[in-house]
Amino acid sequence: MSVQAVLANQLAEVRREARRVLESGEVKTVLGYRAGPTAVRAMPALITRPEDTDLLVWSPACANNLGLYVRQAALEGKVAVVAKGCDARSIVMLIQEQQIPRESVYIIGVACPGVVDPDRLADAGIREEKLTGASWDGAEVVLASPEGEARPGRESIAKMACLTCDVHTPPLYDILIGEAPAIEPVDGLSPIPEGTEDRRAFWAKQFDRCIRCYACRQVCPSCYCTVCFADRASPRIVSKRIRGQENWMYHTVRAMHMAGRCVECGECERVCPVGIPLLQMMRELGAEVDELFAFKPGMDPEAEPVFGVFKNEDEGPEP
């Protein structure tokens, strides 16, 4: 079977299941993806009519973490979600933290070898506007254009979070579509200095570039507070001034809030307009949590949040 035929079959299954749960009344809405402005830029879609499920797409263009929209959609009734591994992990996290009940969401799990980051295409010598399609051949991304097919290599065009990901099959689903190939994660992220002062200087330089647009916060499924600490007038934790000290406070406090909760989907880094390596910071925090508590967020809806429970055997800081 050709690469295009495999992807077409998966898309047909996604559309068929989405239509089924809407027609049966099992769900009120379906969260999925629809075609975007180019072949490698899909957009989130909220489908409420069975006949509109033909608008759904599934390809390496489906980068957004749809877990971001689940809480709000579930307020209107049960919602179905087309979920990659990272999307499903975000949904699990929301269930763990009692933001949504498990029965309020129907998970159409899709195996995902990794999605494309359009912003990396130019560096790989590929003109985005000429592309007519994108598909997977195993772990490899195949890009189609009038000139033919290109296989630039997964490591050169994939979203950075996909390169380090080891959860290509959703850990929680009601139906699973597709089968992910065996993919070894690679560390494609920028190295961070080892020494304390060197690390401090590195992050100070990164945070100095921040324009405090809060895109990282707005795109994160785990940032669901009604009022963010950065917006509170009383008590005021951080001011609105865009400067090193205030930026440092915002990013470090947010990072501490994300420890043990971040599923490393990399959406914060993908949308950052100045390219701060936020995923690297989250991965380092995640590694610390895993080492201390053997906990990986978003994998088990029955597990209690790691910082929501104390065990006598938990390791603490050295006195």
What pLDDT, in 10s, does the model give residues 35-93? 999 999 999 999 999 999 999 999 999 999 999 999 999 999 999 999 999 999 999 99
Residue 124 structure tokens: 């790989």
Of 8, 167, 142, the residue nearest 84 (C-alpha): 167
Model pLDDT, residue 319: 53
Residue 307's pLDDT band, with cuts at 50, 70 and 90, is confident
Residue 269's pLDDT band, with cuts at 50, 70 and 90, is very high
Of 90, 141, 92, the residue nearest 112 (C-alpha): 141
Residue with tokens 């597990």: 303
Model pLDDT, residue 3: 65
Q: What is the mean pLDDT of residues 200-222?
A: 93
Q: What is the pLDDT of residues 102-128, one digit of tens each?
A: 999 999 999 999 999 999 999 888 999
Residue 125 structure tokens: 């010598």
Model pLDDT, residue 1: 56
pLDDT above 90 for 24: yes
Report which residue type is found at 39: A
Least confident range from 61-75, 80-94, 183-197, 277-291: namely 183-197
Q: What is the pLDDT of residues 225-236, one digit of tens each?
A: 888 887 776 666
- Contacts of 237 by beta carbon, 8 Å cutoff, 6+ apart: 229, 230, 249, 253
Q: What is the mean pLDDT of residues 257-276?
A: 94
Model pLDDT, residue 267: 95
Residue 8's pLDDT band, with cuts at 50, 70 and 90, is confident
Task: Return d(Cα 119, Cα 142) in angstroms, integer.
Answer: 17
Model pLDDT, residue 231: 77
Question: What are the DSSP calls for 238-270, one per residue?
Answer: S-S--SHHHHHHHHHHHHHHHTTT-----HHHH
Q: What is the mean pLDDT of residues 161-181?
A: 94
278 and 223 Cβ atoms separated by less than 8 Å:
no
Count other C-beta atoms under 10 Å from residue 312's C-beta.
4
Residue 249's pLDDT band, with cuts at 50, 70 and 90, is confident
Higher pLDDT: 145 or 192? It is 145
Q: What is the mean pLDDT of the chain?
A: 90
Model pLDDT, residue 242: 74
Model pLDDT, residue 196: 87
DSSP state at residue 274: T
174 and 196 Cβ atoms separated by less than 8 Å:
no
